[in-house]
Structure 1
Amino acid sequence: MPRTRPFLPLVAVVAVAAVLAASLLLLDRPRPPRDCLFGVVGCAGSGALAVAGRSLTRDGEPFFWLADSATDLLEDLNRTEVTRYLDARAAQGFTVVRASLDVPADQYGDAPLAGGEPVVTAGEDPADDAAYDFWDHAEFVVSEASARGLVVALTDGAEQADFLSERLAPAGDVVLVPDDPRFAVLPGEGCADRSEVRTRAYEAGEPFVDGAAVEEDRPGCGPSSTPGERATAQDVRRDAWSAVLSGAAGATYGHTSVGQFLDDGRTAVDGARDDWEDALDAPGAEQVRWVRALVESRPRLEPLDGDVPAALAEDGSTVVAYTEGGDVDLDLGALDGDTGRPWWFDPRTGEATELDAVETDGSTTFSPPDEEDWVLVVDDEGAGRGAPGDGSDGADSEVDDSEVDESEDGDSEDASSEDGASSEDGDSEEDGSGADSGDEGAGDEGADSGGSDSAGSDSAGDGAEKESVEDGTDESPADESPAEEPLTEDPLTGDADDPLQDLTGAGGRDPGSEDAASASEAEDAGDPAAEPAPEPAPEPEPAAEPEPAAEPEPAAEPEPAAGGEDWDRLAQCESSGDWDIDTGNGYYGGLQFDEGTWSDYGGTDYAPRADQATREQQIDVATRVRDDRGGYGSWPGCATKLGLPR
């Protein structure tokens, strides 16, 4: 009897169909929240950070990872201290702050976890202890960092990745390290020799950043690692330059007092000795910006073998080497052109000194200006590059210089005569370049927290302005001093003790009264002149009382600006919609203007500071900033969050 194939049972048919349908549904399934945290395009918050070859990008522009190790940030700082810290680091050109989630509680006594699960309460009002929980504070940190162009890198949070993505990623750019699958963040002891670790990471072929730092001022972290020898700014520079010339897409800085936010109320560990706010301005923290500035002014650097750390641009147009006072022997045959254009770049100031052109047909020896550490840059002359650290062939520095000159109201001639070829001149160039590669941050507009910066577009402005204050060259340093004084209480959790001052009529006289008096005197003086000369002068009559000076008309209230709803939304994001706010951090009003920008765009026609002007006046000035700069890019964090054009 012939065998017949039995029919497939109906149950099996249904099961197969169900599996196929489920597979099709999975194709359209939304990405899990974990992907959002890792910056997958299309997810909220962190989609701006991506990988391109061995480099990182942000919003499609090259991104240099210059991280500050702020391990105890979420545990130790209140809201006011957070903004003070972020303002400082954004002004110094950092692009990343790295903090730990492995903390028992934050400054307000709220624990992040209970039984392994996040502790979340209803509400987020910082004035309400029962509502404001640890994750509200973490979200505040991420949002404020993003407003200043900074990425927050969190450690010790892999087990909570899904929750973190859902809660924190919408607030700004945040990544988990070292767990980000797109690039490696090298762990390890920063004081140790890390050359082999970096070499292995480069040979692996994936992008990497160095996540360990030589902590400035830490005992036993100097070149000889003797117990009493503390790490210096030169140790910091050596480590950072060696990292990028080994192929890293970024480096990490640390200060032993800042990482633990040491103050009088905390016990020092690892030999820390300085108050954290004083340590923010340590020399190394000010100088690592020049690593970023140079790297962003040249194509991607690939490491070269040699006696000193050196690298070749991926397009063969530039060779860069770092030396600690010794001669540098370089084989320039790797350059594409026949003529090299060499520079000595000062890693302490960012100033570049051009040397005579050299032939590239063999090895050339270069002697540094002195026994300090220096960076040698040799460009292919045909590439037409500007000074190292100067951005796009010098274009940015020209824009910044002209805008700074304009903002100095005619003082530029004196300033230029004082600057000459000094490092300050180099600083302005470096700031221009250092901020263009997608940093919006090194600090956009008051590190964007606000407003707009008087020194120029993108992040060059705030970095240049704050640097001038630190160098003592700002034209009005007194204006910045209140931001440096510690506040007696958190202005966002209590009453600020800096009330608004009514400056109307300051000086005791009305504007224009002199003109009125002068006109009255001229009119009186004209009557006697008409009397006939020969006649004896009649008995003089009492002089007529001068007419009272007319009351000055107040500045016209601006017409309601188009798009006022957008400004209200932006103010809600920047300052919770408080148009009178002054937290003491140097930014004022609903749209968080710094004083320089407020003045440069005509705000002082209304009031001395933005917080003393009306909502309509602040919107009028902000509209001028937006129109001048072609969008809302002066408020990058909130503009991105609200979907406003930048």
Structure 2
Amino acid sequence: MKTFLRKLLFAAASCLLASTACPTQLPWENGKLKVSDNGRYLMHENGTPFFWLGDTGWLMPERLNRDEVSFYLERCRQAGYNVVQVQTVNGVPATNAYGQASMPDGFDFSRIDREGTYGYWDHMDYIVRAAESKGIYIGMVCIWGGLVRSGFMNEEEAKQYGTFLANRYKDCPNIVWIIGGDTRGDVKTEVWEALATSIRAIDKNHLMTFHPFGRTMSATWFNDAPWLDFNMFQSGHRRYGQRKGDGDNLADSNVAEDNWRYVEASLACRPLKPVLDAEPSYEDIPHGLHDPAQPRWTANDVRRYAYWSVFAGSCGHTYGHNSIMQFYRPGYAPAYGADKTWMEALDAPGFNQMKYLKELMLRFPYFERVPDQSVIAGTNGERYDRLIATRGDDYLLVYNYSARPMQIDLTRIKGNKKKAWWFRPTDGTTEYIGEFENRVTDFQYDAPYMQGADRVLIVTDAEAEYMK
């Protein structure tokens, strides 16, 4: 019955999705995901780069029905996302849109598939297969960290749960395992180790990472762990100088928005592992997270977090929206002051602008790219005036959030002559600037200071053809 039901669900998903466009090539046709040879990025087995562009669809398993799952994932695909991070369970047990519980027998999963019942895990199977049809990976946060901190899963139960999850999803091509979930790695460490190692003992084909608490990074606790393939950090939701709100209260609030610092700190660890910001400030969420009276983060802010992190050396980025992450709609109590439905939020500018970053990074030779602040000549700015530079052998990119004038050392890349363009993160368009001598050169674009008119300066060897 279990096999028949899964086949039936897959057929239903295929029919439901038939009316929407699907990728001509699915990512895993290039082979499974792995860490690049230089330890900085993710790639497929055949050498194809994988730039992680994630959305936080945390409560999708609990709040969306099948039609809504399909609709949401299709919008993610259209917006360029190739990963959706989900809370597999947000309660012990969790209950989904069909009224089915995740753990009717506790951590005994021997009778989890019941004849004639479309259960919690059947619905999770549907989500995984629907994402697969769209070319999207499911970043499966196995259990939210607060539940473990509160004692809802112990070490032995973690082994049972990890064994169940690994056996159920080890053959799905689009899984990334995420241990933790908004939690510190030095709290209930033995539980997280038991969960990770029990999954890894069965499933050696999928990447695994750890999602940490606000303003912390997984490298602090698990960089040496053999099960951790790449690092995550959560830069959190505070603004500069804000001492209350999400995050580690011991961290310096004066650098609260500098998510590039976590990238640099993670990449300084050995062994070198890829890293990304798995939870920056969300679009339309209050500064500091908990007080709805606070100002809200905008599309301008979420772009800044994305470009700062990636240009500092991240292997990708995860976006979030207040309404989407909780799939808010009338009938649910809004968290964090959410006042738009999740369907309305799919039209938010930030949600639809992230794809331009992915397209930009994949335009150039991928694995040779390194962060390089020596590209910035003279004194760099602080806070919003901070310029972040990355380069390959014959190209460089500089992100400018505030529209401040800047001096750029064009000698840092190959070529006797250089060509330059402005790139707009808001719409992905480019504007040719001209050809330049190979020296330190002044650049400034015509835009008001600090009004969300961010740009990327693109410079290449004049003989390169990346911009054609």
Deviations 1:380-427 (A, max 9, x none): 1122222xxxxxxx4xxxxxxxxxxxxxxxxxxxxxxxxxxxxxxxxx
Pair 1:339 & 2:435 matched: no
Counterparts of 1:303 and 1:284, CA distance in 2: 24
Counterparts of 2:363 and 2:350, CA distance in 1: 21
Kept in 2: contact 1:143–1:172 (CA 8 A): no
What is the identity, as a one-letter code, of the residue corresponding to 1:163?
Answer: F
Match of 1:198 in 2: 263
SS at match of 2:434: coil
What is the identity, as a one-letter code, of the residue corresponding to 1:51?
Answer: V
Residues 263 and 355 of structure 1, relative CA distance in 2, 3 Å threshold? same
Pair 1:288 & 2:275 matched: no
Residues 226 and 264 of structure 1, relative CA distance in 2, 3 Å threshold? closer
Counterparts of 1:63 and 1:296, CA distance in 2: 9
Counterparts of 2:406 and 2:133, CA distance in 1: 42
What is the identity, as a one-letter code, of the residue corresponding to 1:303?
Answer: P
Pair 1:88 & 2:78 matched: no
> How far off is 1:162 after superposition?
2.9
Out of 58, 66, 70, the position equivalent to 2:44 is 58
Match of 1:173 in 2: 174
Out of 152, 172, 190, the position equivalent to 2:138 is 152
Structure number with the higher helix fraction is 1
Matched ranges for 1:345-364 at <5 A: 345-361=423-439, 363-364=440-441
Number of equivalences: 336
Counterparts of 2:455 and 2:395, CA distance in 1: 20
Counterparts of 1:77 and 1:226, CA distance in 2: 25
SS at match of 2:99: coil
% identical aligned pairs: 29
Kept in 2: contact 1:291–1:347 (CA 8 A): yes
TM-score of the pair, normalised by structure 1: 0.49
SS at match of 1:135: helix
Structure number with the higher strand fraction is 2
Kept in 1: contact 2:292–2:336 (CA 8 A): no
Out of 325, 337, 359, the position equivalent to 2:403 is 325
Residues 120 and 298 of structure 1, relative CA distance in 2, 3 Å threshold? farther
Residues 119 and 88 of structure 1, relative CA distance in 2, 3 Å threshold? farther
SS at match of 1:263: coil
What runs of 5+ residues in structure 2 fail to find an aligned partner? Answer: 1-27, 144-157, 180-207, 210-227, 239-255, 381-385
Kept in 2: contact 1:92–1:289 (CA 8 A): yes
Residues 214 and 322 of structure 1, relative CA distance in 2, 3 Å threshold? same
Match of 1:535 in 2: none
* Deviates most, 78-87 or 376-385: 376-385
Residues 350 and 120 of structure 1, relative CA distance in 2, 3 Å threshold? farther
Match of 1:108 in 2: 98
> How far off is 1:108 after superposition?
1.2
What is the identity, as a one-letter code, of the residue corresponding to 2:273?
Answer: E
Pair 1:138 & 2:124 matched: yes
Match of 2:10 in 1: none
What is the identity, as a one-letter code, of the residue corresponding to 1:228?
Answer: Q
Pair 1:70 & 2:57 matched: yes
> How far off is 1:324 after superposition?
2.1
Deviations 1:410-457 (A, max 9, x none): xxxxxxxxxxxxxxxxxxxxxxxxxxxxxxxxxxxxxxxxxxxxxxxx
Match of 2:364 in 1: 298
TM-score of the pair, normalised by structure 2: 0.67
Kept in 2: contact 1:343–1:354 (CA 8 A): yes
Counterparts of 2:129 and 2:302, CA distance in 1: 29
Deviations 1:126-164 (A, max 9, x none): xxxx42111111111111111111110011347533322
Pair 1:241 & 2:307 matched: yes
RMSD over aligned Cα atoms? 2.4
Kept in 2: contact 1:142–1:172 (CA 8 A): no
What is the identity, as a one-letter code, of the residue corresponding to 1:183?
Answer: F
Pair 1:48 & 2:32 matched: yes
The structure having more radius of gyration, on CA atoms, is 1
Residues 134 and 46 of structure 1, relative CA distance in 2, 3 Å threshold? farther
SS at match of 1:336: coil
What is the identity, as a one-letter code, of the residue corresponding to 1:320?
Answer: V
Counterparts of 2:447 and 2:435, CA distance in 1: 20
Deviations 1:223-242 (A, max 9, x none): xx995211110001000000
Match of 2:392 in 1: 314
